[in-house]
Amino acid sequence: MERISTVARDRGARQLNWPVWVLVCAASLVLAIEISGQDAPRPRPKTARPQRPMQAQRNTPDQTAESQETVDDPFGNAPAVKGANNPTAPPAEVDQIPAHVHPKHPLVPALKMAYASRGTLRTVRDYTAQFVKKELVGNNYITHSIDMKFREQPFSVYLRFREPHEGRQVLYVKNANAGQILVQEAGIKSLVGTIKINPSDPMAMSENRHPITEIGISNMLETIIKQWEAEGQYGEIDVQYFPKAKLGDFPVRVIRVTHPVRRNQFKFHLTQLYLDDQTLFPVRVEQFDWPQREGEKPIQVELYMYSSVRTNQGFSDQTFDPRAYGLRR
């Protein structure tokens, strides 16, 4: 078993139940990583705590803790390093900065670090993980905690909900099952049987900003890389580096990119990418919209976090066979 991330894999975590994803009904889960004052009044949520690596035979209860980050000061007293002279950027990269990005653009060190993070994923063939996501869909925040089994090639994902809709199963395999997502609820709802739905169907997208075909750690990172490569041809960009930040109790490096002025070429006001301090493995992404009024806090629209990651488990086609989970083709 490979040790990819000291943040993304847990030291005292039990073996995961069958992993999971979100796709069909509406729900709201209590999750932590809340931006103060953004949600409608509701109890402060909690989220899974990122955990250290675990030994192969270690099997102890999961630990959870409330996140302490806020948009104003998400990293405690961690110093920010601005501009192109980022001391934590890797010295050399395989991936090349696009020609349209000026060598002294403030996003260059951020892209170099993102490329280095991409490099940590090149040997990852499959993994299990706990996936937490929080999205602003319409006017509602929708949060999910999910166990996941994922294979890169062919693209395959099996998801089992923790909260909400505990026990719901979702399976998607590219070029299989007639291109449909297979969904089955738990409990009394299981009597309905397996539902088949297109990934882009409005029912599947009712709780999601992105289709299941875009799920996964590598897709999360690639989205940020493409975003920054596109933004690298423009100004009005402030880049901060937090090389000694913490996510819970664990050290991470964080890149924060902010666009002070709303422009058509910028999709988000503020983006934060969290990388494991030791390996640069990507563990979390946050996206924020511009404040509605001057002086207010940015509006969080997307949060994705992967923890308890266990890589290269040797998944086969049988791992993603619907019959393994009682699902009908």
pLDDT at 314 over 70: yes
Q: What is the mean pLDDT of residues 93-121?
A: 92
Pairing of strands 195-197, 270-276: unpaired
- Phi and psi, residue 241, nearest 5°: -120, 135
Average pLDDT over residues 283-287: 97
pLDDT at 116 over 50: yes
Query: At residue 289, does pLDDT exceed 90?
Result: yes
Q: What is the pLDDT of residue 128?
A: 97
Q: Comparing C-alpha atoms, which of 14, 41, 18 is closest to residue 28?
A: 41
Q: Which has more pLDDT, 75 or 29?
A: 75
What is the arithmetic mean of pLDDT over 5-31? 39
Contacts of 53 (CB under 8 A, 6+ apart): 3, 5, 6, 9, 10, 11
Topology of domain 81-325 in CATH is outer membrane lipoprotein receptor (LolB), chain A (2.50.20)
| H/E segment holding residue 303 | strand 299-311
Kindly list the domain boundaries of the chain, sorted by start residue: 81-325
Contact predicate 143/42, CB 8 Å? no
Residue 49 pLDDT exceeds 70 = no
CA atoms within 13 A on the CB side of 131: 25
Would you say how long the chain is, in residues?
A: 329
pLDDT band, residue 230 (cuts 50/70/90):
very high
The fraction of the chain above a pLDDT of 90, given in percent, is 63
Q: What is the mean pLDDT of residues 40-61?
A: 35
The pLDDT assigned to 94 comes to 61
Contacts of 90 (CB under 8 A, 6+ apart): 112, 113, 115, 116, 280
pLDDT at 39: 43
For residues 234 and 236, give the distance between their C-alpha atoms in angstroms, rounded to a whole number.
7
Q: Which two tokens stand for residue 289?
A: 């919209």
Reported as a pLDDT band with limits 50, 70 and 90, residue 161 is: very high
Helix axes 217-231, 107-121, angle to 10 degrees: 160
Q: Under DSSP, is residue 187 helix (H, G, I), strand (E, B) or coil? A: helix
Decide: residue 5, CB within 10 A, 0-12 exposed, 13-18 middle, 19+ buried. buried
Say if residue 76's pLDDT is above 60. no
What confidence score (pLDDT) does residue 215 get? Answer: 97
Neighbours of 219 (CB within 10 A): 14
pLDDT at 275 over 80: yes
pLDDT range class, residue 172, cuts 50, 70, 90: very high
Q: Quote the pLDDT of residue 26.
A: 34
At 54 the pLDDT is 29
Higher-confidence residue: 97 or 190? 97
* CA–CA distance, 251 with 76 (Å, rounded to integer): 12
pLDDT computed for residue 313 by the predictor: 97
